[in-house]
Structure 1
Amino acid sequence: MRRGTVIHGVDLVAEIRHQTAVHNRNNLTRTEAYLRFYLQYPEVNWALLAHLVSRNGGWNMTDLRGEWLPRLMSEEDIQSFFAFLERCNWLIFHDAYPQLLLYATMKRESEDLTSLLPDLGVSRFMVPIWRDFLQSGNGARLSRALIINEQQYIEQRVVKHPFYRDQVLESFPFLAQSILSLNQILFPYRDQSAAKRPRLTGVSVKNFPSVERRINVGKTLYKLLFDDPRRHQAIIDWATRVTHTGSRADYWPEIFSPIPTSRLEVPYQERLKGAELLPGRPKLYSPPLPRVWPDTVQPAADGTDWYRDEKWLRFLEEDDLIPTIDENDYASGLNMVEAGLQMVALIS
């Protein structure tokens, strides 16, 4: 490169890192940044998927201070779970958002700047992918690559990290959440029906420690998001209309409340029948994120490149999809949680 280009590159890398840090403050700022990017560059399909998955990350964080989990988990477990969720959320944004910002610059300047990806700490796996995208515009292939890359990115840094493995992934509360169907990723949307609340589509996340399983979860969600044009537009309409607060009242305010409705020390009473509140029963507490979790300062990510084995290239083409769920499955899961709570109350 000419000296002027190198200086330009250094300045650009510094600015991208600065903008990433600004928007990586918490789950709300990340989620909004993904959506703003997608609305400006809809050809980068993955940004919409990232926005919606990030919404779910926020809901999982506030569940830890909501109606149910404080009745089932110790404060130590709650803190460990939040640290796990925040670290995953932070790391993925830390790695992916610079790629999005570099693409925005490349499109604005009509210049291939993919040689700067390594300077941003991006895996060499992604360099030919972005170069191909600049030529082909193949958003599906780019999305598959980003799904693979981000799941691999957190594999060593979180999933196999001794603290998160021992304190979260191998702990009873994490297994209990899977059994009780609390580990779900949901996309709300409104269709042409007269239903009073949004419909839901998504997946249940099981066997989280498996990177292959997480990649297949991402691919399944991508298919749900983009295969049906009418549902795709309905999901965008909902996401742009409803601001992400971290509370599950964002999508089902008929049964979730962003303000407390009961005291934890009061024995829990059954609230739901299917997806409806029982007469006279209070809503389920689901707080906004800023009310229950402060911003955190995350340690820097190491610069290790995960890409050492070409076997992962087959995941760019092969789809091994998992079963999906809808609002009826979600309601059944909520009822299962209530049954579990009542069982715990009887035992104690």
Structure 2
Amino acid sequence: MVTKQLKKIIKEPRSIKHHELTNDQEDLIQTIRSTTRKHNRNNVTRTQAYFDFYQKHPEIHWALLAHLVSRNAGWNMTDLKGEYLPFLLSRKEQDDFFAFLERGNWLIFQDAYPQLLLYEESKKRGTPLFHLLSFLEISKFMEPFWSQFWEKSTKEALTIALIINEQQYIEERVVQHKHYKDTVLDTILFKLQDIFEFNHILLPYMTPFQKKTKLVGGAVHHFSSVNERINLGKGLYDLLFSVQSRLKHTVDWAKDYPHTGSRHDFWPHLFNHIKETAPDEKHELTSNPCSLHPISPKIYSPQLTRVWKDFDHEKAVPDDWFKNKKMLHFVKKPVKMLKGDIQGTYCKAIEELESAASTKAFFHKRN
């Protein structure tokens, strides 16, 4: 039983002695670190890496969920340089918010992707290598779940464990970090999510009979709450994998529309990665975004690599978050199912952003 193992290993001191590794194991760890760094350049590269991995190993459900959530992080990053938010946020606020989003996205990848690569290597060799997780500075929380998955193919348990682990991993390093609390969470993000319900996670899909992409998903209303983020992650996982036909359409959509960071990827009728309005003019909506009718001019939503340079990250401080039993209830806690009907809420948020940007632009011109 995994929970019994977890209760036992909490009390065990963790000793990592690299001299205990064979030359082959050392080489493997260095290869995994190097491959992770290569794909962790920016949101676009890491988002694609998740999807490429899922296509090779579809039994790892978390990789698809991570791909789609990472797409949303990229859309939030480019919104900061898009049609509306530059009217509402100063240049410094844009930079601070990007640094916050990028840091979380980077940290999760550099912790999770080595786990995926170690699993891939285990498959190649036909033997589990999860005892090497500690040498990759992965929380001891994860080893029992990977071992159980190897033996029993417990897909849901592994996915939930990865959701818990990654949200805990960024908790102290980003969410509760004083710098990000002061510059983003207690100021910018609070303002945006309070007024515009900013934290939407969209899962796009398109059926063969439709020409427009539909959206399902969920929202977190208190991003600073690790409990809420974990519950949302579990709900999104259930939403994504509970309807097999929609899952297939979601995967097909992801294949057909590689991630660029622009919202043009999912709604080209509404967004364009080329700015169609004059530099100092603010776009005005001519119809309800949810009508799915083409509008002109379109809302500017740039491609990520055109508006944000690759970010130079400080190395993550090695520290295992798993020090007490506090999070164990999430392993067994039932999933709170999401309704999934996010499309109307998201369209309302677009309209509210447009209205707020119009007001700000009007007063700016008067002054």
Superposition TM-score, scaled by structure 1 size: 0.94
Are 1:271 and 1:278, in contact at CA under 8 Å, matched by a contact in 2? no
Give yes or no for the alignment of 1:327 onto 2:343. Answer: yes
Deviations 1:267-290 (A, max 9, x none): 553444243589974100000011
For the structure 1 residues 71 and 173, does the alpha-carbon distance in structure 2 shift closer, same or farther, using more than 3 Å as the test? farther
Equivalent residues in 2 for 1:91-240, closer than 5 Å: 91-191=107-207, 193-194=209-210, 196-240=211-255
For the structure 1 residues 114 and 172, does the alpha-carbon distance in structure 2 shift closer, same or farther, using more than 3 Å as the test? closer
Are 2:196 and 2:352, in contact at CA under 8 Å, matched by a contact in 1? yes
Give the Cα–Cα distance (whole angstroms) in 2 for the partners of residues 329 and 103 of structure 1: 38
Give the Cα–Cα distance (whole angstroms) in 2 for the partners of residues 14 and 270 of structure 1: 51
Give yes or no for the alignment of 1:294 onto 2:309. Answer: yes
For the structure 1 residues 280 and 44, does the alpha-carbon distance in structure 2 shift closer, same or farther, using more than 3 Å as the test? closer
Using the TM superposition, give the Cα deviation of residue 188 of structure 1 relative to its aligned residue in structure 2, in angstroms: 0.7
Give the Cα–Cα distance (whole angstroms) in 1 for the partners of residues 361 and 205 of structure 2: 35
Please list every run of 5 or more consecutive structure 2 residues that lacks an aligned counterpart in the other structure.
1-16
Deviations 1:6-42 (A, max 9, x none): 2211111111000000000111110111011101111
Give the Cα–Cα distance (whole angstroms) in 1 for the partners of residues 89 and 165 of structure 2: 32
Give the Cα–Cα distance (whole angstroms) in 2 for the partners of residues 34 and 280 of structure 1: 33
For the structure 1 residues 110 and 73, does the alpha-carbon distance in structure 2 shift closer, same or farther, using more than 3 Å as the test? same
Q: Percent identity?
A: 45
Partner of 1:34: 50
Q: What is the one-letter code of the residue matched to 2:212?
A: R
Deviations 1:222-260 (A, max 9, x none): 011100000010100000111111100001001101101
SS at match of 1:275: helix
Partner of 2:3: none
Are 2:276 and 2:297, in contact at CA under 8 Å, matched by a contact in 1? yes
Equivalent residues in 2 for 1:306-325, closer than 5 Å: 306-318=321-333, 319-325=335-341
Deviations 1:86-143 (A, max 9, x none): 0000000000000000000111101121110000010000011111111110111100
2:280 to 250, 265, 268: 265
Using the TM superposition, give the Cα deviation of residue 4 of structure 1 relative to its aligned residue in structure 2, in angstroms: 10
Give yes or no for the alignment of 1:253 onto 2:268. Answer: yes
Partner of 2:256: 241
SS at match of 2:215: strand
Give the Cα–Cα distance (whole angstroms) in 1 for the partners of residues 294 and 70 of structure 2: 33
Partner of 2:8: none
Give the Cα–Cα distance (whole angstroms) in 1 for the partners of residues 250 and 292 of structure 2: 25
Deviations 1:206-232 (A, max 9, x none): 100000000011001101110000001
Using the TM superposition, give the Cα deviation of residue 333 of structure 1 relative to its aligned residue in structure 2, in angstroms: 2.2
Are 1:62 and 1:287, in contact at CA under 8 Å, matched by a contact in 2? yes
Give the Cα–Cα distance (whole angstroms) in 1 for the partners of residues 204 and 192 of structure 2: 25
For the structure 1 residues 140 and 278, does the alpha-carbon distance in structure 2 shift closer, same or farther, using more than 3 Å as the test? closer
Are 1:262 and 1:282, in contact at CA under 8 Å, matched by a contact in 2? yes
Are 1:255 and 1:276, in contact at CA under 8 Å, matched by a contact in 2? no
SS at match of 1:49: helix
Give the Cα–Cα distance (whole angstroms) in 1 for the partners of residues 295 and 144 of structure 2: 59
Please list every run of 5 or more consecutive structure 1 residues that lacks an aligned counterpart in the other structure.
none
Deviations 1:52-107 (A, max 9, x none): 11111111110000001001000000000000010000000000000000000111
Give yes or no for the alignment of 1:282 onto 2:300. Answer: no
For the structure 1 residues 145 and 267, does the alpha-carbon distance in structure 2 shift closer, same or farther, using more than 3 Å as the test? closer
Give the Cα–Cα distance (whole angstroms) in 2 for the partners of residues 73 and 271 of structure 1: 24
Number of residue pairs matched by the alignment: 346
Report which stretch shifted further, 42-51 or 263-272. 263-272
Are 1:25 and 1:295, in contact at CA under 8 Å, matched by a contact in 2? yes
